[in-house]
Copies of this chain bind each other. A is one copy, B any other.
C-alpha cells in the first residue's frame, strides 16, 4: 500500500486552516469525497485512534459504574413532542426517514435520525424508573448521531454524522447530579489531558448558550494555535426539567413520589482525534502520542546494495520482537527519504533505522517524531528504550501543549483590547458582568464586533476576580472572569 509521499511542509502557525485541511487529507485520516455533503469516510488511520480512545472511555466508564446500552438510530416523531425547549433547539437539525421499500412506501410516522439521545432514551427511562432501588442509572452508548448542519461542514469539527459517546444518568438527588458533573470532568481530564496530552479549559457556559432544556452546561474547550477553541465534550446538568417533560419519577425510601435528577455527558471522539491533530501536529504533519498512534513504530531499512539481505532479515526480526506494538516494517521500493516523509506526515512516534553497519554492530538508530532527536542504542536495549520513549514523548508533547495554552490566554485591559487581542490569535480573559441572562447583551456586543463568543467561566483554572472589578463591556460590577474565543 506504499505510495511516494512528497515532503509535507506548511507553516501551522501562519496558515492554520490550510495546514489543517492539508494534513487531514494528505495523512490519510479521512476521505471527504463520499458523495453526500458533510458525510465523511473515516479511514483506518482515524479508526485505529478512535478504537483506542473508545477503549479508554469504556475502561473509565466501567471504573465509575456506567453500563453500556444501545438505543435505536431512529426516533419516532411523537417522542419529539414531549420537550418543547429541547426540541426547538434540535428540530432545525434533524434528518427525517419518511419512506421505505423499492416503491418508496410512506411510513405511518416519520422517524428522525437521532440528533442526540434524549428523545430516544427518556421515554424508556420513564418506564424503567419506578423506585429508588432502580437508581442511579448510569448508561452510556457509543455510536454516531446526525445533524443537518447548514454551515460549512468540516471533517471532525462539523459533520452531518459524527462519532461520540453519550452517557445519560439519573439520580435521586440534586447532590448526586452535581457530583456527576465533577466525575465527568475527572474522566475527561484523565483521558484527554493525561493520556492524549491535550489540555483544555473546563468551562461553565453562559445561560444563553447552554444545551436546550438544561439547567447548566459545562464544556471542555481545547485552545488552538490560531486562538480558536474546539469543544470536545459537554456535560449537562439537566436538573428535573427533562424528568418533568418525560415523566421520570421514582418512589423514595419514605414512599414519596419524586422527579428524578439527570445529567448527560457527550465526549466527542471524532473531535478528540481532531484535537490530537491540531494541538500536537507540526509543520511536517501529525505528531501523535505513542499510546493512540495507528502505527506506533516504523522500521526503515537503509540499503546500500551490500548486505541487503542481512538488513531485511533484521527488519523482520525486529518487527517480531516489537509485535506487542503496532509496528510497520517498511520494505517498499520507495527511498528512505520518501519513507521518512510519509511516516513523519502520519505522525508515527518512533522510527527505527537499520543499515548494514547497525546490523554488524548490533546497534539501532531511533528517531523521535516529536523532537526529531536521533538516539543510538544497543539492539539489546530496544524494549527498555521504547518503553522509556513512549512516556517521554507523551510528557514532552503534553508540556508543549500546556505552554501553548498558557501563551494563548491573555487578559484584556479594556473593551477595545478584546477585539485587538482576538485578532492577534489570542483567547481573551476579562471581567464580565454576568453569565446569567442579564449579561447576554454584553456578549452580543462582543460577538458583533469580533465574532467571538463568551465561552464562560473556567472550572479547572485558578482564576481570581479582583474586588471591585467592572464588566469590560458595560461597566457594571463584574461577577465573573470569562474566557472569550472563536469556535473553530
**Binary CB contact string for chain A from 81 to 124 against chain B (1 if under 8 A, 0 otherwise):** 00000000001111111111110100001010100000000011
Query: CB distance A50 to B72 under 8 Å?
Result: no
Query: CB distance A97 to B100 under 8 Å?
Result: no
A355 to chain B, nearest CB (A): 24
Q: A35-B79, A76-B36, A133-B1 are in contact. Are A69 and B41 (CB under 8 A)?
A: yes
**Chain B residues in 8 Å Cβ range of A67:** 44, 47-48
**Chain B residues in 8 Å Cβ range of A58:** 51
CA distance A72 to B145 in the complex (A): 11
Q: Number of A residues contacting the other chain (C-beta, 8 Å)?
A: 63
Query: CB distance A33 to B127 under 8 Å?
Result: yes
A393 to chain B, nearest CB (A): 23
A163 within 8 A of B: yes
**Binary CB contact string for chain A from 238 to 265 against chain B (1 if under 8 A, 0 otherwise):** 0000000000000000000000000000
Partner of A68, one of B48, B78, B100: B48
CA distance A48 to B95 in the complex (A): 30
A473 within 8 A of B: no
**Chain B residues in 8 Å Cβ range of A79:** 35
**Chain B residues in 8 Å Cβ range of A218:** none
A329 within 8 A of B: no
Q: A67-B47, A100-B96 are in contact. Are A74 and B161 (CB under 8 A)?
A: yes
A283 to chain B, nearest CB (A): 27
Query: CB distance A134 to B1 under 8 Å?
Result: yes
A475 within 8 A of B: no
Decide if the interface of chain A is mainly helix, strand, loop or mixed.
Answer: mixed
Query: CB distance B94 to A96 under 8 Å?
Result: no
Query: CB distance B98 to A94 under 8 Å?
Result: no
Query: CB distance B73 to A35 under 8 Å?
Result: no
**Chain B residues in 8 Å Cβ range of A2:** 133
Query: CB distance A99 to B98 under 8 Å?
Result: yes
A148 within 8 A of B: yes
A447 within 8 A of B: no
Which residue of B has the minimal Cβ distance to A58? B51
A332 within 8 A of B: yes
A108 to chain B, nearest CB (A): 9
**Chain B residues in 8 Å Cβ range of A96:** 97-100, 104
**Binary CB contact string for chain A from 17 to 44 against chain B (1 if under 8 A, 0 otherwise):** 0000000000000010111100111111
**Chain B residues in 8 Å Cβ range of A72:** 34, 36, 39-41, 161
Query: CB distance A47 to B68 under 8 Å?
Result: yes
A151 within 8 A of B: no
Partner of A133, one of B3, B124, B134: B3
A425 to chain B, nearest CB (A): 33
**Chain B residues in 8 Å Cβ range of A111:** 36, 95
A139 within 8 A of B: yes
A291 to chain B, nearest CB (A): 16
Partner of A51, one of B34, B68, B74, B161: B68
**Chain B residues in 8 Å Cβ range of A74:** 36, 39, 95, 161
**Chain B residues in 8 Å Cβ range of A71:** 34, 41
A337 within 8 A of B: no
CA distance A342 to B70 in the complex (A): 23
Which residue of B has the minimal Cβ distance to A72? B39
CA distance A17 to B161 in the complex (A): 38
A457 within 8 A of B: no
Within 8 A of B (CB), among A310-352: 332
Which residue of B has the minimal Cβ distance to A66? B44
A217 within 8 A of B: no
Within 8 A of B (CB), among A125-163: 127-128, 133-135, 139, 143-144, 146, 148, 161, 163
Sorted nearest first, the 4 A-B pairs with minimum C-beta distance are A44-B67, A47-B68, A42-B70, A39-B72
In the complex, besides A31-B128, A35-B79, A96-B100, 8 extra interface pairs with C-beta distance below 8 angstroms are A1-B135, A31-B127, A42-B70, A47-B68, A51-B68, A73-B113, A73-B146, A98-B98
